[in-house]
Amino acid sequence: MTRLSVRGISKTYADGTEALRGVDVHAADGEIVAILGGSGCGKTTLLRLIAGLDEATTGAIEVDGVSLTGTNPAISAVFQEPRLLPWLTAEANIAFGGRRLATDDRQARMESLLARVGLAGYGKRWPRELSGGQQQRIAIARALIGHPGVLLLDEPFSALDPFTRANLHDLLLDLWRELRPTVLMVTHDIEEAVVLADRIVVMRPHPGRVQETLPVDLARPRNRLAPAFDLTKRNVLRAINRSLAEVPSGPGPTAGNGFSPWV
C-alpha cells in the first residue's frame, strides 16, 4: 500500500540553475509511472529528490500522505549504472539492500531474488566478473530485497543493448507483478515507457516542468507490434513535440533534447 505524491516541487541549485519548477507527480499504489523527457528536463533531479539524495527548494514529497525528509526505507532505487560495490560478491551486494531485514530473512530473500533475476549460481562472483546486464540484474535484486513500497528507476536500461534491454523489461514486469511496488521510472526511451508504464508523465525542459500526463490503456503483456501500441507511441511523441514547440529560444541547447519533431 504505497502512494507516492510529489507536490509543487521546485529545485534551484546553488549556482542559480533552475532544474525544476512546480512539479506535481502522483503514483497510485502499485502503479508504474514513467517520467519521459530529454536532457535538461530535470527528470533525474526529480528522482534524486524523491530518493532523498538532494533537497527540494520548495514543495513536498509524500509517501502514503506522510511527508518525507532525506532517505527512507520505503524508497529504493536502481541507477543508470549498476553501482554495485566492487568489494562485495554479487550475493553480498543484493544483501546490502536488505540491511534492515533480520539475518535469516535477508539470506532467504537474497537467494530467492538471485534466482528470480536468473543468476542462481553467480552469487559468489565479483561484480567485475559479471556483464553489464548481469550487474544491472543484481542491482534490481538489491533494490527489491528490502520490500520497498516505491522503486525508483533512473534510466536503468539505457546503457544496455536492445536484446538485454528487452529481457530486463520482461524481468522487471515479472518482479513487479509478484511484489507490486509502486514504480517511478525515468527514461528517454518512448518505447520503453509505453512497454512498462501505466501512465506517462511527459516533461519539458528549462526549467523542468510537467507538460502533460498520458494514460497507457494497453493490456499486459504488451505487444510492441500491435497497432494500439503504435498509436500510444505516436500520442506520446505528439505530447513531446508540443513540449518542444513551447520551449522559448532561451538558454540551453534545444537541439540536444534527444527528440526531433518528425510526426
Partner 1 sequence: MKRHTWMVGLVIPAGLAILWEIAVRYGVVGGRLMPPPSRLAQTAWALARSGELLVHIEATMTRVLLGFALGATAGTLLGMLNGASPLANRLLDPSIQALRSVPSIAWVPLFILWLGIFETSKLALIALGVFFPVYLGIFTAIQSVDRKLIEVGRVFGLSSAGIALRITWPAVMPVWIASLRTGLGLGFMFVVAAELMGASEGLGYLLLDGQQMGRADSILVAMIIFALLGKASDSVLVALSRPVLRWQDTNRMRL
> Smallest gap, in angstroms, from Cβ of residue 87 to partner 1?
4
Q: Which residue number, 129 or 230, has a Cβ lying nearer to partner 1?
A: 129
Q: Which residue number, 42 or 205, has a Cβ lying nearer to partner 1?
A: 42
Q: Which runs of E-coded beta strand occur in 64-178?
A: 66-67, 75-78, 150-154
> Smallest gap, in angstroms, from Cβ of residue 250 to partner 1?
30
102 binds partner 1 (CB under 8 A): no
> Smallest gap, in angstroms, from Cβ of residue 63 to partner 1?
15
77 binds partner 1 (CB under 8 A): yes
Amino acid, single-letter form, for residue 83? R
Amino acid, single-letter form, for residue 146? G
Which residues ranging from 140 to 169 are in contact with partner 1 (CB under 8 A)? 142, 146
Amino acid, single-letter form, for residue 74? A
d(CA 3, CA 184): 11
261 binds partner 1 (CB under 8 A): no
d(CA 80, CA 44): 10
Only segment of 92-100, 108-116, 163-171, 224-232 that touches partner 1 (CB under 8 A): 92-100
| H or E element in which residue 4 lies | strand 4-12
β-pairing verdict for 182-187 and 150-154: parallel
Among 85, 108, 120, 226, binds partner 1 (CB under 8 A): 85
Q: Which residue number, 109 or 209, has a Cβ lying nearer to partner 1?
A: 109
Q: Are 116 and 145 in contact (CB under 8 A)?
A: no
d(CA 9, CA 122): 41
53 binds partner 1 (CB under 8 A): yes
Q: How far is CA 42 from CA 36, 138, 202, 231, in A?
A: 10, 27, 11, 27
| Residue 221 preceded by cis peptide, ω within 30 | yes
97 binds partner 1 (CB under 8 A): yes
User: Considering only CA atoms, which of 173, 183, 153 is closest in space to residue 2?
Assistant: 183
Give the count of residues interacting with partner 1 (CB under 8 A): 24
Q: Which residue number, 20 or 77, has a Cβ lying nearer to partner 1?
A: 77
Q: Please give the grid coordinates belonging to residue 156.
A: 536503468
Q: Which residue number, 53 or 228, has a Cβ lying nearer to partner 1?
A: 53
30 binds partner 1 (CB under 8 A): no
> Smallest gap, in angstroms, from Cβ of residue 35 to partner 1?
18
Only segment of 59-67, 124-132, 194-202, 235-243 that touches partner 1 (CB under 8 A): 124-132
> Smallest gap, in angstroms, from Cβ of residue 85 to partner 1?
6
d(CA 21, CA 59): 10
> Smallest gap, in angstroms, from Cβ of residue 75 to partner 1?
8
Q: Please give the grid coordinates belonging to residue 214.
A: 498520458
- Catalog residues that contact partner 1 under the rule CB under 8 A: 51-53, 71, 73, 75-77, 79, 81, 83, 85-88, 96-97, 99-100, 126-128, 142, 146
